[in-house]
Amino acid sequence: MRILLVCILTGALLAGPLPGATAWSASKSAGAPYHHVIPELPSKLSICGQPVPLGRPMVRDYLDRELVIAVHDPAQTIMWLKRAGRYFPYIEKRLKAARLPDDLKYVAVAESALIHYIRSPAGAVGFWQFIPATGRRYGLRINRWFDDRRNLRLATTAALAYLKDLRGQLGSWPLSLAAYNCGESRVKKEMAEQGTRDYFDLALPMETQRYVYRILAAKLVITSPERYGYALPSAAYWKPIPSQSVTLRLKRPQHLTVVARAAGISYRQLKELNPELRRRYLPRGRVAIQVPPGKAAGLAARLGRAGPPPKGASPDKYVVKRGDNLSSIARRHGVSLSDLREVNDLDDNLIQPGQRLKIPEK
């Protein structure tokens, strides 16, 4: 009897067992047999160079669960593979330069499935899923203009620094990964109370109990996709998008359409190259952005000739903070006090914290 497997590449049915899987057959009530692929666990496995104790039944059970879930979620796993083609080369380069284990790249898969805009119910955002407090602690801008958690380069810098710090505090990579998920304080508390420094022996919150195994499942499938039924040709993997950095010194906020026009690209292309940008404007001051290769030279000069924002462009807005006054806000944005009052329909200069002001075009 043929074993029918789902061919991930084409959606067609292929015959033959996987080298790393066995087949299980059962009968529906109608009597027609159907088949499931059950991925086999490897005989040996490590995480960041540390052996995984697969001889322990509980360890095997947890890994088995996460591997089955990964293998039988074809849409997600295909997208893991495709996105890895785009983002892994940069992450691998950074890990090598920092002399950190290559396996840490799978943390980003487990955290975000390599989606830059993903947001958790707890408020964690981006490739490496930083909550605001931890992101700011590691130098990421999270404000009205920028959310660096969505920028692969900046977020990877912060994530590697955080992981390195955790390794220094906890002494092992599995414990460090657990702490990345639930916090170093919780892991230290549980180690002290339970009397063990072995992640694979610790009772932790269920999400953290599964976390390292989810990373291991991602490693197994992405490292050897064919073993688990995923045979993508090289052309199917997304390619890295080349870009270069340019620093602009802006006297006032600049609409992104004008910046894109000066760079010879579309508004959407500019946003996709700079996913950390939260508004339709760049702020006043020194701002570094990514543009396509060859577009950085002379961009500042072209920006001065790029013309006004499009008609009907949404005005920039500013939330009044304690200590602000209308004159200082006007100076900060390079507009006149009278224009600022007029666009906000203000009869006087009285404003209050939390008030939203429209910033007029200069």
CA distance linking residue 114 with residue 111, whole number of Å:
8
* Bridge partners (DSSP) listed for residue 119: 125
Determine how many CB atoms are found less than 10 A away from the CB of residue 204. Answer: 20
For residue 188, CA distances in Å to 8, 124, 160, 166, 167 come to 42, 22, 20, 11, 12
Determine how many CB atoms are found less than 10 A away from the CB of residue 163. Answer: 23
Contact 20, 242 (CB under 8 A): no
CA distance linking residue 95 with residue 255, whole number of Å:
36
Contact 125, 119 (CB under 8 A): yes
Catalytic residue among 66, 111, 190, 276: 111
Phi, psi of 346 (to 5 degrees): -100, 130
CA distance linking residue 325 with residue 328, whole number of Å:
6
DSSP-derived 3-state class of residue 220? helix
Is 111 catalytic? The answer is yes
For residue 176, CA distances in Å to 58, 212, 227, 285 come to 20, 10, 29, 38
**Which of the residues are catalytic?**
111
